[in-house]
């Protein structure tokens, strides 16, 4: 008789404990990526004091901008159910074409900048049209564009980097407003615009819908073709913009640049919680992914860890992120 | 339908093959496999080869290894199958590209190795190049002169295993070993890439380590590293040297940014390779080792290599 109240109390505290764990799991699955980032940054500050200096933070902002700009476009593409393997090559093509119009005293700054973005938009639109109208797989189309754009960049420059660029052009990717690099400001602008489009416009909702179930989206009246073309065109424009930022930072437009950048962008997007099967994701998550990769590269460089180990670490983080994402879905 | 397509393809291939065999009867054909035509220096070699081929009236069949040793082996196999008279190999990977030489030897095709070495170099008919270890030695010696034999050195490497990277590293170490006051405090690869070197240098500067000089194994990386040093305002404290003598680097030397570079005579290498290949194809014997020396370029002798445009 005296046993029962204790048993009921025991059960209640067990339920409370279970609820506590569920709450923690829910919190982690939503904000886990940000917690991971803070943990990583914290650990690095402890092991390497120079990590948390202002100038190092500036460096990190500078170093993550190019990947970040591409990753915003990649987020929309992946949410729409596709992928863009051409980002790095389009970046190079835009970079060399823009740089060739950026010699000192040659043209107003607006010429190379708009040309670079235009080259990106055109490539992206071409991707989108082939994917939307011809019903070709995004992987194949953007793979073709990746190879063709790189070839075009090499043909345009005869294989040599475009050098001797004007100071005003170089300032785009290399200059700062006080302590904040211009490149980071461009990145911020892209993030704000991207987040607004994705989360606060009808177009953005359509992107999610198309990614979730293209047929259902079409049946419910969404012009899926326009959504897809728009998404790839935007991604192309951002690759072009990234090309301008990169070439101005290194003061040369090289046709060999940007190789593998699409994979870094995809890694950032995936780490940030966007699913490769489409329909789910957020710009905020991508930004966390971008910074996790950037902070890790920066911190490991400071600790003089070889770049080969850095590559292993990056791979492990990607796998870990996908595993956690899979777990939280179940 | 598929049958028709196959037959048509086979007929076309046979037609092309016949044309080529006719061709090699009239003009000497030389198959060239470049290590990577996305590299400006290799393009200089290509230009020189093309010019020489035009002069000598030989036909070049060119292939781009695109930084992949296995591709170079396939390209060599294709050259042999096509019946070229000689092969020129510009190897990407010291170990990986070596098999191409074996294939040529087995097929009794003369093969000239140019610009970079392979592990089985002795089996080739001739080698034209500059000893990359010498480039490393020249760069390191210059830095030791300027630092008076002591200091903290940072080394930025090319891609690991790349023929030039391995040898330049050897050369740098050989020289630095002679100066007990000099130590390599950090080193890492930036894969010949300017942007990678920039990021790497930025992070090294952030780490607070003392660095007196940067030896970059090519000019692109040297320029990237310099950009980071300049952005941090420390160009008076840290000197930078590169290798290759590309135009951008020569300009940087004229502006007092880089303290030097090492000139590799791409034209000389390319031209001599074609000449030797032609002679081998005609049955002549040639000298095996043909070394074209590297030259240090500094502000003092800059005019010999570059003039402002």
Instruction: Kindly determine whether residue A59 and residue B202, on different chains, have CB atoms separated by under 8 Å.
Output: yes
ipTM over 0.90: no
**What's the average model confidence in pLDDT over A217-221?**
93
- Dihedral of alpha carbons A226, A229, A235, A236, sign: negative
3-class DSSP assignment, residue B91: coil
The residues facing B100 across adjacent strands are none
Q: What is the mean pLDDT of residues A42-68?
A: 89
- Chain A contact for B102 (CB, 8 A cutoff): no
Q: How far apart (Å, rounded) are the C-alpha atoms in residues B65 and B99? A: 14
Closest Cβ opposite residue B203 in set A246, A249, A298? A298
What per-residue confidence (pLDDT) applies to B24?
Answer: 47
CA B207 from centroid of its chain's CA atoms? 32
Contact B181, B150 (CB under 8 A): yes
CATH T-level fold of A33-329: ABC transporter involved in vitamin B12 uptake, BtuC (1.10.3470)
Domain coordinates in residue numbering, chain A? 33-329
B139: tokens are 């760069």
User: What is the enclosing helix (H) or strand (E) of B63?
Assistant: strand B59-64
A161 secondary structure, DSSP code? P
Name the percent of chain B lying above pLDDT 70: 92
Task: Kindly report, residue by residue over B209-222, the tens digit of the pLDDT.
Answer: 999 999 999 999 99
Chain-centre distance of CA A264, in angstroms? 8
Does the pLDDT at position B108 exceed 60? yes
Segment A35-63 shows an average pLDDT of 87
Taking Cα atoms as reference points, which of B28, B23, B20, B33 lies closest to residue B280? B28
pLDDT level of residue A53 (50, 70, 90 thresholds): confident
Sign of the four-CA dihedral A272, A291, A243, B248: negative
- Do residue B199 and residue A50 have CB atoms under 8 angstroms apart? no
**What is d(CA B297, CA B246) in angstroms, rounded to the nearest whole number?**
11
pLDDT recorded at residue B8: 65
Q: How far, in Å, are A95, A184, A225, A263, B116 from residue A87 at the CA level?
A: 12, 19, 21, 9, 32
- The DSSP bridge pattern shows strands B86-89 and B29-34 to be parallel
Cβ-in-10-Å burial (0-12, 13-18, 19+) of A280 comes to middle
pLDDT tier, A15 (very low <50, low <70, confident <90, very high otherwise): confident
Query: Could you give the C-alpha distances from B78 to A58, A250, B106, in angstroms and in order?
Result: 51, 39, 14
- Pull the structure tokens for residue B117: 């070495």
Domains, chain B: 28-130+265-292 (3.40.50.2300), 132-263 (3.40.50.2300)
User: What's the pLDDT tens digit per position in A124-152?
Assistant: 999 999 999 988 999 999 999 999 999 99
**Residue A57 Cα to chain centre, angstroms:** 19
Query: Quick one: pLDDT at residue B23?
Result: 45
CA terminus-to-terminus distance, chain A = 41
Strands (E), chain A: 176-177, 180-181
Instruction: Give the Cα separation of B15 and B8 in Å (integer).
Output: 10
Q: Which residues of A touch B193 (CB under 8 A)?
A: 256-257
Q: B204 and chain A: CB distance < 8 Å anywhere?
A: yes
For residues A26 and B83, the model is more confident at B83
Lay out the sheet containing B111-114: strands in order across.
B59-64, B29-34, B86-89, B111-114, B126-129, B289-291
Residue B82: count of CB within 10 angstroms of its CB: 16
What is the per-residue pLDDT for B307? 84
Q: Which long-range contacts (CB under 8 A, 24 or more apart) does B120-124 make?
A: B122/B288, B124/B89, B124/B288
For B268, the enclosing helix (H) or strand (E) is helix B266-281
CB-based contact B200 A301, cutoff 8 Å: yes
- Cβ-defined contact of B206 to A256 (cutoff 8 Å): no
Minimal C-alpha gap between A160 and chain B (Å): 5
Q: Does B193 reach chain A within 8 Å, measured CB to CB?
A: yes
DSSP A172: H
Mean pLDDT (chain B, rounded):
91
The 10s digit of each residue's pLDDT in A234-264 is: 999 999 999 999 999 999 999 999 999 999 9
Looking at beta carbons, which residues of chain A come within 8 Å of B251? 163-164
* Contact of A327 with A273, CB cutoff 8 Å: no
B190, closest residue in chain A (CA to CA): A307
Q: Are strands B239-241 and B182-189 parallel, antiparallel or unpaired?
A: unpaired
Q: Is the pLDDT of residue B167 over 80?
A: yes
Asked whether the predicted pLDDT for residue A167 surpasses 90, the reply is yes
């Amino acid at each position: 008789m005296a046993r029962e109240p204790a048993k009921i109390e025991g059960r209640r505290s067990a339920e409370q404990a279970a609820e506590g764990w569920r709450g923690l799991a829910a919190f982690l699955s939503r904000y886990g990526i940000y917690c991971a980032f803070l943990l990583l940054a914290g650990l690095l500050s402890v092991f390497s004091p120079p990590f948390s200096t202002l100038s190092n933070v500036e460096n990190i902002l500078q170093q993550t901008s190019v990947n970040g700009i591409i990753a915003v476009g990649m987020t929309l593409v992946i949410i729409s159910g596709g992928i863009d393997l051409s980002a790095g090559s389009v970046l190079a093509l835009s970079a060399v074409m823009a740089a060739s119009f950026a010699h000192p005293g040659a043209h107003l700054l607006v010429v190379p900048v708009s040309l670079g973005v235009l080259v990106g938009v055109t490539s992206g639109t071409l991707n989108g049209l082939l994917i939307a109208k011809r019903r070709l797989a995004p992987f194949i189309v953007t793979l073709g564009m990746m190879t063709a754009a790189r070839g075009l960049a090499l043909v345009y420059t005869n294989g040599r980097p475009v050098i001797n660029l004007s100071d005003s052009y170089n300032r785009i990717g290399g200059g700062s407003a006080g302590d904040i690099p211009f490149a980071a400001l461009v990145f911020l602008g892209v993030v704000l615009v991207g987040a607004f489009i994705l989360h606060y416009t009808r177009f953005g909702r359509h992107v999610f819908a198309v990614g979730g179930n293209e047929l259902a989206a079409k049946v419910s009246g969404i012009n899926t073709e326009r959504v897809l073309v728009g998404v790839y065109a935007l991604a192309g424009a951002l690759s072009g913009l990234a090309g301008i930022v990169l070439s101005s930072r290194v003061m040369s437009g090289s046709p060999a640049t940007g190789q593998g950048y699409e994979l870094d962008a995809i890694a950032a997007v995936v780490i940030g919680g966007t699913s490769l099967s489409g329909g789910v994701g957020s710009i905020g998550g991508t930004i966390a992914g971008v910074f996790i990769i950037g902070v890790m590269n920066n911190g490991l460089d400071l600790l003089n860890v070889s770049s080969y180990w850095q590559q292993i670490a990056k791979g492990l983080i990607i796998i870990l992120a996908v595993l956690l994402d899979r777990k939280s879905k179940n | 339908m598929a049958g028709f397509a196959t037959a048509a393809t086979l007929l076309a291939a046979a037609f092309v093959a016949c044309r080529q065999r006719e061709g090699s009867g009239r003009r000497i054909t030389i198959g060239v496999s470049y290590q990577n035509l996305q590299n400006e220096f290799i393009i200089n070699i290509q230009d020189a080869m093309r010019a020489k081929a035009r002069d000598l009236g030989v036909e070049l069949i060119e292939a781009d290894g695109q930084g992949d040793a296995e591709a170079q082996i396939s390209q060599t196999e294709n050259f042999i199958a096509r019946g070229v008279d000689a092969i020129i190999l510009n190897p990407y990977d010291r170990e990986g590209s070596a098999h191409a030489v074996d294939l040529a030897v087995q097929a009794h095709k003369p093969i000239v190795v140019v610009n970079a070495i392979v592990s089985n170099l002795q089996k080739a008919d001739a080698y034209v190049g500059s000893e990359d270890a010498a480039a490393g030695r020249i760069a390191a010696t210059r830095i030791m002169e300027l630092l008076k034999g002591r200091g903290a050195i940072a080394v930025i490497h090319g891609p690991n295993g790349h023929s030039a990277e391995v040898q330049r590293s050897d050369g740098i170490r050989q020289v630095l070993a002679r100066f007990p006051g000099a130590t390599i405090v950090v080193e890492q690869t930036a894969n010949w890439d300017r942007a990678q070197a920039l990021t790497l240098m930025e992070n090294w500067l952030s780490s607070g380590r003392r660095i007196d000089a940067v030896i970059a194994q090519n000019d692109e990386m040297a320029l990237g590293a310099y950009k980071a040093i300049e952005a941090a305002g420390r160009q008076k404290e840290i000197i930078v040297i590169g290798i290759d003598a590309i135009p951008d680097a020569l300009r940087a030397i004229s502006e007092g940014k880089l303290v030097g570079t090492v000139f590799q005579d791409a034209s000389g290498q390319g031209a001599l390779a074609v000449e030797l290949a032609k002679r081998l194809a005609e049955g002549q014997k040639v000298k095996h080792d043909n070394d074209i020396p590297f030259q240090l370029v500094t502000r003092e002798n800059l005019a010999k290599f570059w003039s402002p445009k």
